[in-house]
Structure 1
């Protein structure tokens, strides 16, 4: 029920409204007498009615405000004030406009886990699909691996060290398989690298990321921010096959830090993006920390694709890195949880399922 300043002239007051984007908002109250005039306000200011958008009506004791095709601009606190010659009374209601769910997620982890376990790469010469994770320090690259391994190990997995501060915990080029000897390994692997940082003296060298994309970097290579891998180094693979190359570039970005990334870091990531485009390599973004970015998503992770704030963050990612919105996936990593959470799993599995298929498409196309 909306907030009430005085009930003296009201039989019923305005009620808070939650409507979907594009639907009609209807606010109605009833007065105890008919000889009243009404004024409407939004957020404490006189309502500026727009033709064919706002419809104000009075029918007997009933007062109503209809707002057609609700959008984000229509959110706010609406107040009606009823007046006669001697006194006035007001009541208010909060209007919230929710986006319609713009993506559907299969909120059943067993279906997606089974699909990924049964997945077969369409080129026999490629035994595993290779994904390269890159992004700013602290964005959650290693935590993504931990989360995916948690899903398939069916227990909380924390073997990959996640950066808590401003320094990358990943010092060597590391390939992480998914699965185990008992249940079997899945046909894809994640390659973890040092985080991208500002300046030339810290963080992974951009040339090393590009070398990894092309399959030139051997596992165990120690990253040196000041000196990228050269073909004379014994960690350099001179003639990589399709099995050695990366099949999908996965950028990991923290949702609540997109606008806080420095220009140097963005330029480094854009350079990697351009190289991936030249290679026709699939490029996706995993946008982490969606729970700390959006209160609605924090309360209910299944609302992630109804959140205006998350939608806005996806758009910010698109603008910053030039990746189309359909390739940007909001996810949540395991961080402080003590138990397995199926909603966390499903959101990650939804992204992973699409990434696996796109990587397989790349292998099929460029193995000819």
Structure 2
């Protein structure tokens, strides 16, 4: 009986984790982020733009990040609770501040309308580009049929450094990753990524629902980095989008839980630490460019 179990684990699980994870070090990760300071003290926060396919968990990721720092489950970014995920739930461009107790942390997460496979549905790709440039004002209502224009009241013609995006976060559900290389979602992601590259904005991918993609992870979240299935999912995402595997993070977002859990928090904090450092590096480059041009 023990032998068959061992064989089964070998078939689906690596003997050694393929990515080191600081399990048990939640406190250290959390303190590092709470003490984090931006490279320019004149910038109140670095903007992190969150985009992704409908139903992948963009808003849940934003809520999960806030939940970690609040030490309780939060739901500031409204999440679709129905079983119908055929159309995007988020309609507005909205910014969420991350709190450290009563004070605000120096980074914000901005939610967007979901990306849909069909044209004329979901967020228009050019709206994501304008959001990255800082041209879209708070609470702009996205129009899938046409992108924002300078004539729109919600268009910002002269975005400041604080309005601009310093890290683009793609959110994709691990259990819905398609092998179809010509999938329209991947085409849109590649187009958005190419525009981010032109703007010198780094990109990170959050792979949600790893527990739904792999039974091992569903049983034990610590199996996420020994799971062969999850590693395959990361490699598929990288191949289809061009985002490096080292910038892809499987994260289980808070959904049904009523209390925060240390192991889930570690995955969220590890990913967010990576995002924040990349955003700060991009901000430093922008500040240097501005200083040299003056």
TM-score scaled by structure 2? 0.91
**d(CA) in 2 for partners of 1:150 and 1:235?**
30
**What is the Cα deviation at residue 199 of structure 1?**
2.2
**d(CA) in 1 for partners of 2:157 and 2:11?**
58
**d(CA) in 1 for partners of 2:250 and 2:29?**
17
Q: Which has the higher contact order (CA 8 A, sep 6+)?
A: 2
Matching residue of 1:59: none
Q: Is the 8 A contact 2:172 2:205 kept in 1?
A: yes
Q: Is the 8 A contact 2:179 2:236 kept in 1?
A: no
Query: Which has more radius of gyration?
Result: 1
Note the 1:62-81 alignment, pairs <5 A.
none
Asked if 1:193 is matched to 2:84, the reply is no
Matching residue of 2:186: 266
Matching residue of 1:104: 20
**d(CA) in 2 for partners of 1:212 and 1:359?**
15
**What is the Cα deviation at residue 298 of structure 1?**
1.0
Paired residue secondary structure (1:237): coil
Paired residue secondary structure (2:178): helix
**What is the Cα deviation at residue 215 of structure 1?**
0.6
Deviation track 1:17-46 (CA, whole Å, cap 9, x = no partner) reads: 74xxxxxxxxxxxxxxxxxxxxxxxxxxxx
Match of 2:170 among 229, 251, 255: 251
Asked if 1:147 is matched to 2:67, the reply is no
Q: Is the 8 A contact 1:140 1:254 kept in 2?
A: yes
Matching residue of 2:196: 276
Match of 2:255 among 328, 335, 340: 335
**d(CA) in 2 for partners of 1:301 and 1:352?**
18
**What is the Cα deviation at residue 267 of structure 1?**
1.3
Asked if 1:128 is matched to 2:45, the reply is yes
**What is the Cα deviation at residue 353 of structure 1?**
0.6
**What is the Cα deviation at residue 184 of structure 1?**
1.2
Deviation track 1:225-262 (CA, whole Å, cap 9, x = no partner) reads: 01210011121111112211000000000001110777
CA RMSD of aligned residues (A): 1.8
Query: Which of the pair is proportionally richer in strand?
Result: 1
Matching residue of 1:356: 276
**What is the Cα deviation at residue 185 of structure 1?**
1.2
Asked if 1:289 is matched to 2:205, the reply is no
Aligned length: 282
**d(CA) in 1 for partners of 2:278 and 2:120?**
35
**What is the Cα deviation at residue 183 of structure 1?**
3.0
Deviation track 1:262-288 (CA, whole Å, cap 9, x = no partner) reads: 722221111100001111211010000
Q: Is the 8 A contact 2:52 2:114 kept in 1?
A: yes
